[in-house]
Amino acid sequence: MTNVRILQILLLDIGLLATLYLGWRVARIYAPKLRLALRAVAPWSVVAVGLYVFGVWTCLQPMQMRGLPNALF
């Protein structure tokens, strides 16, 4: 069970890093300065990290608790 959970986390890690990298590369196309590129990619990075955290939290829930709104609080 722990191995499955580690695999889930690793897949989420890969997804987050790929998302951030692609976002960065796209931002670099349109912004020559690093600071401008960072500002361009920041909003999408926040969304990606938020989805990552939500995914990790979901994976840490027991199967019976997934999808239950009351589990949020």
Partner 1 sequence: MALALLAVFATQFAKGDGGVVLLHEAGGPFSVTVFLSPEVTRGEHTDVSVLVQSRTNGDVVLNADVWLTIEPSRNLVARIGTESLCGAPPASVMSPSAYQAQQEGTFPATREQASNKLLYAAALNMNGTGDRRLHINVSRESDSAEFDCLIPAIQASADTRGLWLFLLIPFIAIAAFALNQKLRKHSLEQETDLGLFGWAPAGLGEAGKNFRRKPQKIAAPSAST
- In the complex, the residues that contact partner 1 under the rule CB under 8 A are 2, 5-6, 9-10, 13, 16-17, 20-22, 25-26, 28-30, 32-34, 52, 56, 60-62, 64-65, 68-73
Q: How far is the CB of 22 from partner 1 (least distance, A)?
A: 8
Report the SS3 class of residue 73. coil
Can you tell me the distance from the alpha carbon of 12 to that of 21, in angstroms, rounded to the nearest whole number?
A: 14
Are the beta carbons of 14 and 22 closer than 8 angstroms? no
Q: How far is the CB of 28 from partner 1 (least distance, A)?
A: 6
Chain CA centroid to CA 61, Å:
17
Are the beta carbons of 54 and 63 closer than 8 angstroms? no
Q: How far is the CB of 43 from partner 1 (least distance, A)?
A: 14
